[in-house]
C-alpha cells in the first residue's frame, strides 16, 4: 500500500527544547517578532482564506530586488520551495540532485521524497562548500544543484567571484538553487544581482532567521519567470497563511530594526567564535568541527561532524561562555 522506499528516508530532526534551558540549536532569533510585525498581526482576519498568490508580498519583493512580479514565488518557508524545486526538475531515480555535505539537513530528504538520486559532495578542508568538486560531479543526469551560502552548519561562504566561476562550468539546463537563508548576517555578495545573467538560477530567501518569523513559515524564491511559474504550479494551495504574509510585509518595512538585530548578532558571533575557536562564520551560528560541545543549561546542535551553536543576544552568549 505504501512506497517501499519510505523506510529508507530519514526523518528531519528539529532542535531540542528543554524547559528552563537556553535554546541555541535551531538558528532562531531570541528577540521574537519586530514590534511592527506584532501590530500587523493584530489586523489579520484569520477566519478568511489568505491570498493564495500572495500578490502584495510578491509585488513588494519584486520592487525591492528589481525584478518582475512574475519572477517571485513565496512558499511555506524556503524549505517548501526547496522541495518544490526537486519536484519541478526530477521525474525518476535517474535524475540527480547535487548538494554539499554537510549542509542543510533537509536537502537529501527532499530528494528522497521525490524519488530522485542524491549526490552529496563533501565540504573542503576549510569546512567550505567545494564548488570545484560540485562542478566536476555534474553529469548528463544532473537536474538540480543546491548551494547554501552561507553554508549551514559550517557558516562558511563563497564570494561572488567564486560563484561566477562556478556558474560558467554548469550547463544551462541544470537548475542551480542558491539558498541564502542566512545572507542578512553575511558580508558576501548575494546572487540576486546575477539572475539576469543566469536563467537557470533560483535564489532562495527566508523570513525565519534574521526577521524572526520561524513559527509563521514564509520564504520566497527569485528566478526566471519560467522557473517561478513551475514552482507555483506545484505549490500547495494557500500554503502561506494570512498572518505570515502580513508579518513578512511588515518585516520588509522595518529595515532599521532589522539592521540593529543583525549588528547585535554579528557582535556576539565574534565573541563566541574567538572564545570557542570556531570556524569563521558568516551566519547567526558558529561551527565546531569534530567536537561534541556541551554546556549545562544550554542546548546546542550535535551532528556526526561537529557541533553548531546559534548566536543570539549578549545575555545568552554570556550564559554560553561563562
Q: What is the pLDDT of residues 48-95, one digit of tens each?
A: 999 999 999 999 999 999 999 999 999 999 999 999 999 999 999 999
Alpha helices by DSSP H, the chain: 35-41, 55-65, 77-89, 106-113, 131-137, 160-169, 225-233, 242-252, 255-276, 314-321
CA 286 to CA 304: how far, in whole Å?
Answer: 16
Let me know the angle formed at the C-alpha of 39 by 35 and 56, rounded to the nearest 5 degrees.
Answer: 105
What the chain holds in terms of domains, given with CATH numbers, is 14-32+255-321 (3.90.1150.10), 35-252 (3.40.640.10)
Q: Is the dihedral of CA 239, 243, 245, 248 positive or negative?
A: negative
Residues whose CB is less than 8 angstroms from the CB of residue 300 and which lie 6 or more positions away in sequence, other chains included: 24, 25, 293, 294, 307, 308, 309, 310
Q: How does residue 286 score in pLDDT terms, banded at 50, 70 and 90?
A: very high
pLDDT one-digit tens code per residue, 209-220: 999 999 999 999
Give Cα separations from 144 to 15, 118, 121, 291, 298 (angstroms). 28, 10, 13, 32, 37
Q: What are phi and psi of 305, to 5 degrees?
A: -90, -10
Whether the CB-CB separation of 268 and 102 falls below 8 Å is answered with: no
pLDDT one-digit tens code per residue, 1-16: 888 888 888 888 887 7
Percentage of the chain modeled with pLDDT above 70: 100
CA 231 to CA 234: how far, in whole Å?
Answer: 6
Give Cα separations from 66 to 72, 196, 200 (angstroms). 11, 11, 18
Considering the entire predicted model, what is its pTM? 0.96
Which of helix, strand or coil describes residue 45? coil
- Cell 546542535: give the residue: 301
pLDDT one-digit tens code per residue, 88-140: 999 999 999 999 999 999 999 999 999 999 999 999 999 999 999 999 999 99
Cell of 300: 546546542
**Eight-state DSSP code of residue 291:** -
Amino acid at each position: 500500500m505504501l512506497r517501499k522506499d519510505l523506510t529508507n528516508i530519514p526523518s528531519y530532526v528539529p532542535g531540542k527544547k528543554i524547559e528552563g534551558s537556553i535554546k541555541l540549536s535551531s538558528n532562531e532569533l531570541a528577540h521574537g517578532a519586530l514590534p511592527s510585525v506584532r501590530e500587523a498581526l493584530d489586523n489579520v482576519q484569520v477566519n478568511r482564506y489568505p491570498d493564495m498568490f500572495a500578490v502584495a508580498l510578491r509585488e513588494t519583493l519584486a520592487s525591492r530586488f528589481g525584478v518582475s512580479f512574475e519572477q517571485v514565488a513565496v512558499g511555506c518557508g524556503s524549505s517548501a520551495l526547496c522541495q518544490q524545486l526537486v519536484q519541478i526538475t526530477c521525474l525518476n531515480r535517474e535524475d540527480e540532485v547535487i548538494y554539499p555535505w554537510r549542509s542543510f539537513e533537509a536537502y537529501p530528504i527532499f530528494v528522497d521524497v521525490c524519488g530522485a538520486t542524491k549526490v552529496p559532495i563533501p565540504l573542503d578542508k576549510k569546512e567550505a562548500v567545494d564548488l570545484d568538486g560540485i562542478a566536476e560531479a555534474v553529469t548528463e543526469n544532473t537536474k538540480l544543484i543546491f548551494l547554501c551560502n552561507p553554508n549551514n552548519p559550517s557558516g562558511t561562504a563563497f564570494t561572488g567571484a567564486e560563484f561566477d566561476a562556478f556558474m560558467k562550468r554548469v550547463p544551462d539546463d541544470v537548475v542551480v538553487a542558491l539558498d541564502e537563508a542566512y545572507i542578512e548576517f553575511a558580508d558576501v555578495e548575494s546572487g540576486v544581482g546575477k539572475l539576469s545573467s543566469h536563467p537557470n538560477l533560483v535564489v532562495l530567501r527566508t523570513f525565519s532567521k534574521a526577521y524572526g518569523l520561524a513559527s509563521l513559515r514564509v520564504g520566497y524564491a527569485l528566478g526566471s519567470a519560467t522557473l517561478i511559474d513551475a514552482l507555483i504550479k506545484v505549490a500547495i494551495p494557500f500554503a502561506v497563511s494570512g498572518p505570515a504574509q502580513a508579518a513578512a510585509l511588515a518585516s520588509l518595512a522595518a529595515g532599521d530594526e532589522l539592521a540593529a538585530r543583525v549588528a547585535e548578532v554579528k557582535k556576539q558571533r565574534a565573541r563566541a567564535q574567538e572564545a570557542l575557536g570556531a570556524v569563521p562564520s558568516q551566519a547567526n551560528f558558529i561551527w565546531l568541527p569534530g567536537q561534541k560541545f556541551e554546556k549545562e543549561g544550554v542546548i546546542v546542535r550535535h551532528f556526526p561532524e561537529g557541533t553548531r551553536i546559534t548566536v543570539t543576544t549578549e545575555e545568552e552568549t554570556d550564559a554560553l561562555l561563562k
